A and B are shown apart, each in its own frame.
Chain A
Amino acid sequence: MTTDKIPLLEMREITKRFPGILANDHINFSVYAGEIHSLLGENGAGKSTLMNILYGLVAPDSGKVFVRGKEVRIHSPLDAIDKGIGMVHQHFMLVDRLSVVENVVIGTKPPGYPAFRKEAAVKRISQLIEEYGFDIDALMPVHLLSVGQQQRVEIIKALYRGADLLILDEPTAVLTPPEVVDLFRLLRNLRQAGHGIIFISHKLNETLENSDQITVIRQGKVVNTVLPQNIDRAGLASLMVGRDVLFDLPHPPYSGKQHAVLNIQNLKVLDDRKIEAVKDISIEVCNGEVFGIAGVDGNGQSELVEALTGLRQGTGGKIMLGGVEITGKSPGEILAQGVAHIPEDRQVRGLVMGFRVDENLILHDYGRPPFTRRGLLQHKEIYRWARQRAQDFDIRPPEPRLQARQLSGGNQQKVVLARELTKNPRLIIAVPPTRGLDVGATEYVHRALLDARANGAAVLLVSTELEEVLSLSDTVAVMYEGRIVGTMQRDEIDITRIGLLMGGGHVD
């Protein structure tokens, strides 16, 4: 930490409420020139909202922002850039097909404007690359670069625009370990040069090793700001995860006879960029068991779920359902085997928003009796059935003729549940949505899953919400960088250990 009295950035009493959630609750936060200040917290703790406010993407309800001691109002990214604030988004804002130099100069007015003097721009950018040791070729098209290199382009973009405060939103989430090492080497160079850096993360080790200060946020509030030398990983984990998890839902042990329903052996899956996102995963889920997979977003969970549901082909391994292999089967074939799926993005995969509620409720079974007889849809039967589902699952308003898009998010989710759970599935693959549902609706989803478990279904729960995983699961596994890095039974759950595993820490 430097001895500057005036912070480079000060955010005072920032408050932002979204429908149903207080995302930022009177947050105070300062960064000095020449320091790396980490912002640590779970998914949904409010870190991203705070940074989006700082970058002009979200307007705060109240609170003030000061840059070098002067109050500023930031309405757009342009304002932020103008105040010397640069942001490296988690999802890069790069135009794939343009070269590095083109991506860097977009939207600026370099000498010679409106002509684009490529050679001159390359020269200027090469200077930056040299100065900070970025080590990339300015003429390469961005899509040919590795993820780590793309991230450096984002940093160069900010520096080229004169940013002296850099926000990095979970920059290591997408990097390989050697790339992480490189990133921190770069960040130290930048700190040396007097830049202020806000480093957003949930990973404990890297935060501890590389920060000058650490501010922990939980549920929209600042828990504490600590110096890394005064705290250890366990302490940090408990600050981040907070209070003891409330086991407030009845969770009696399953009394029936158990056998494996889902058996995954050495599964390997590539992501869209053809990089191995699931690396050799083997798990077994039994009837009457909730098997929870905890982990930070982007560690291969969605690829795993897509492979299990037939939307993505694996590159190795086997998936067995009740002893029958379903590897490589189509979504329709897998569904027909008694698998239910509660997708995270209900509006994209779960529901046809322009369809009525009753039409959505028969999305898998529309062609079979009793919904279709003699080639015709039996609307009375469908309506009656939907009406019953609306009652059973408390869908409001209980009018199956409404379009799905006319319902609230929570009730849309209930439509998905009603469709998926009514068929008494053997296996439920649930990725409960973390956004857009209020507390009541979330609890409803949880109860429904536990009820299904009590009836003997096997539940594979994949969630980035640690509390959700802990309160529902009989077995908890932690997924990190495409692998299961630890598994424990409900009675051996150790919150600190899980926090460490999620952050990539080694547990001895």
Chain B
Amino acid sequence: MEVLFTSDFLINLFSAGVRLAAPLLMAALGEIIAERSGLLNIGIEGAILLGALFAVFGSDFSGSPWVGALSAILTGAALGLVFAFITVTLGGDQVVTGTAINILALGLSTYLFRLAYGLEGFSHEVEFFRPLAIPLLSEIPFIGPIFFKQSFLVYLAFIFVPVVAYYLFRTMWGLSLRAAGDHPRAADTMGINVARTRYVAVTIGGMLAGLAGSILTLSHLNIFVENISAGRGFIALAAVVFGQWNPAGAMFSALLFGIADALQLRLQTISNVLPYQLLATIPYILTVLALVGVVGRAYPPKALGKPYLREERGS
């Protein structure tokens, strides 16, 4: 067990933790924007999955991971718009709609993947974002290799933390968005177009979820495998709750889940205390425990999950 406490092991563990946290963080940031506007989009699982596939398509087709990332963003945006149309315009149930999008994405990604790469279930490796050591910073002992030898998309996820925080708390747009999620009727009487605000929010949320998918395929594995998202969208949903709907909070919860994931992966290789199938349940158990731990302290946006249909204003 002493192998656990060598500095190499810890650097390796935390560096992997940061890497594994990135897709959770990216998706969670998008979901924070959507939920702050009042939309509970559990369809981000599907957006991650389909985004991951289209990232591979884009990169494979163009030879550039940048095109891959862009395709993932567009894919996520498209799913976000579908979600917005059904839940905002038609007033459909958000959880059912999100579930439908997840089923659709699972089917469509498997279908298109097999169509493109045959039935064997592996794409060939595509151009991906290679780790990018940041000059000087990456030289800092311990901290450097953990935080500053990551790939572009991982940096991006962490850069988005202050960006999303700025958007939510330091712009008038963010203010309108939060008002729409807490008290849509008040927002409406103040001249805010609640429907448009929610469309924008959930589309941005979809974009970030798509981008989260591209992290899985363009920065972690460099290939697509079926159902590669494996519940990460739902873990990101839990990270939003655990992070109290704040970008910084989501970052800490994503890091927690990422490091737990990295730890169980490492324990699988170095220890025979627990079989790997049981170790693999750790992130999921941790997610449930996180939700239990935050009971009584979690204050979701007040109108979260409720449709706002204008004529309900009544007389």
Contact = CB atoms under 8 A, between A and B. Distances in A.
Contact of B179 (A77, A78, A95): A95
B191 A93 contact: no
A107 B176 contact: yes
Could you say which interface size class chain A belongs to? 20 to 34
A85 to B, nearest CB: 12
Given A52-B315, A57-B315, A116 B186 contact: no
Nearest to B299: A97
A94 interface: yes
B178 A107 contact: no
A106 B179 contact: yes
B191 A77 contact: yes
B182 A116 contact: no
A257 interface: no
Q: Which of A102, A110, A157 has the most chain B CB atoms inside 10 A of its CB?
A: A102
A81 B189 CA distance: 10
Interface string B155-184: 000000000000001111111101100110
A77 B315 contact: no
Nearest to B173: A114
Contact of B182 (A95, A105, A114, A118): A95
Contacts of B188: 77
Contacts of A77: 188-191
Nearest to B169: A116
Nearest to B186: A93
A90 B302 CA distance: 20
Interface in A74-127: 77-78, 81, 89, 93-98, 102, 105-110, 113-116, 118
B185 interface: yes
Interface residues of A, dominant DSSP: loop
A174 interface: no
A52 B183 CA distance: 19
Contacts of B313: 57
Interface in A2-59: 18, 49, 52, 57-58
A98 B185 contact: no
A107 B193 CA distance: 9
Contacts of B95: none
B189 A95 contact: no
B315 A107 contact: no
Contacts of A102: 175
Given A57-B313, A94-B186, A106-B192, A114 B178 contact: no
B179 A116 contact: no
Nearest to A113: B172
A108 B176 CA distance: 10
Interface of A: 18, 49, 52, 57-58, 77-78, 81, 89, 93-98, 102, 105-110, 113-116, 118, 157
Given A18-B315, A95-B179, A107-B190, 10 more contacts: A77-B188, A95-B186, A96-B183, A97-B182, A106-B176, A108-B172, A115-B170, A115-B171, A115-B172, A157-B190
